[in-house]
């Protein structure tokens, strides 16, 4: 049975650590499988569309993502020891983070990424992400490297508009299908 974990916020030292690689034998540990279940539960409850292990004070290289938009290419996925095998393009958009409550900022990201890693059974997986999903993968990867979006975002501000409030769910969310064009204008 999955349990809610506490999401730690900016200022907690774990958010600034480079997370440790997961060893293959850890995947066989029921506690590790429980961790994955708990991460999904905690992400959905937040609510969010992505959550990295360091955000629940576990400094290991894995994150969960699920855009919850009825497209099975957008999750639910867990990816362990992820690496980008392709990055291309650039796009600016609004971004928020569950670990920086109430705030959003404008941030440039790659427009398209491919992320390879392991699933919960140790099988190799590859996630292809463009638009919001691609941003989400990059945002979560940053968490594994001790980076928060506020480190490079411009115009960091309290979320006021609907679009900004949606971004609080960890990366920009509002009108994800329509927004990329509007947001694509270089700043
Ligand atoms: Zn975040």
Q: Tell the CATH superfamily of the 13-174 domain.
A: Peptide deformylase (3.90.45.10)
Tell me the two tokens of residue 67: 């855009």
Residue 172 annotated as catalytic:
no
Active-site annotation holder among 41, 88, 140, 163: 140
Query: How remote is the CA of residue 27 from the centroid of ligand 1, in Å?
Result: 24
CA 50 – ligand 1 centroid, Å: 8
**pLDDT band at residue 54 under the 50/70/90 scheme:** very high
Mean pLDDT of 168-176: 57
Q: What is the pLDDT of residue 45?
A: 93
pLDDT band at 169 (very low <50, low <70, confident <90, very high): confident
Most distant CA atoms of the chain, gap in Å: 47
> What pLDDT sits at residue 178?
35
With pLDDT > 90 as the criterion, what percentage of the chain qualifies?
Answer: 86
How many angstroms is it from 77 CA to the middle of ligand 1? 16
Provide the pLDDT confidence category of residue 94 given band limits of 50, 70 and 90.
Answer: very high
In the chain, domain spans: 13-174
Indicate the helix (H) or strand (E) that contains 42: helix 30-45
Q: Tell whether the model's pLDDT for residue 80 goes beyond 70.
A: yes
- The reported pLDDT for the residue numbered 57 is 98
Ligand 1 centroid–CA 165 distance in Å is 14
If you average pLDDT over residues 41-45, what whole number do you get? 95
> What residues contact 64, with CB distance under 8 A and at least 6 apart?
36, 39, 40, 43, 50, 51, 75, 76, 77, 78
Q: How far is the CA of 29 from the centre of ligand 1 (A)?
A: 26
Q: What is the pLDDT of residues 23-38, one digit of tens each?
A: 999 999 999 999 999 9
So what's the pLDDT on residue 65?
97
């Amino acid at each position: 049975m999955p349990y809610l974990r506490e999401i730690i916020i900016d200022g907690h030292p774990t958010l600034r650590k480079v997370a440790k690689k997961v060893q293959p034998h850890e995947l066989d540990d029921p506690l590790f499988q429980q961790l994955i279940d708990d991460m999904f539960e905690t992400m959905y409850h937040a609510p969010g569309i992505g959550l990295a292990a360091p955000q629940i004070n576990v400094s290991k290289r894995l994150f969960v993502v699920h855009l919850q938009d009825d497209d099975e290419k957008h999750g639910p996925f867990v990816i362990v020891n992820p690496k980008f095998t392709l990055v291309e393009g650039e796009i600016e958009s609004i971004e928020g983070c569950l670990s920086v409550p109430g705030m959003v900022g404008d941030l440039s990201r790659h427009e398209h990424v491919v992320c390879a890693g392991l699933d919960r059974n140790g099988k190799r997986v590859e996630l292809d992400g463009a638009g919001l999903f691609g941003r989400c993968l990059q945002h979560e990867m940053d968490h594994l490297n001790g980076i928060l979006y506020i480190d490079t975002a411009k115009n960091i501000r309290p979320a006021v508009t609907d679009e900004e409030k949606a971004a609080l769910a960890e990366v920009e969310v509002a009108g994800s299908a329509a927004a990329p064009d509007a947001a694509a204008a270089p700043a």
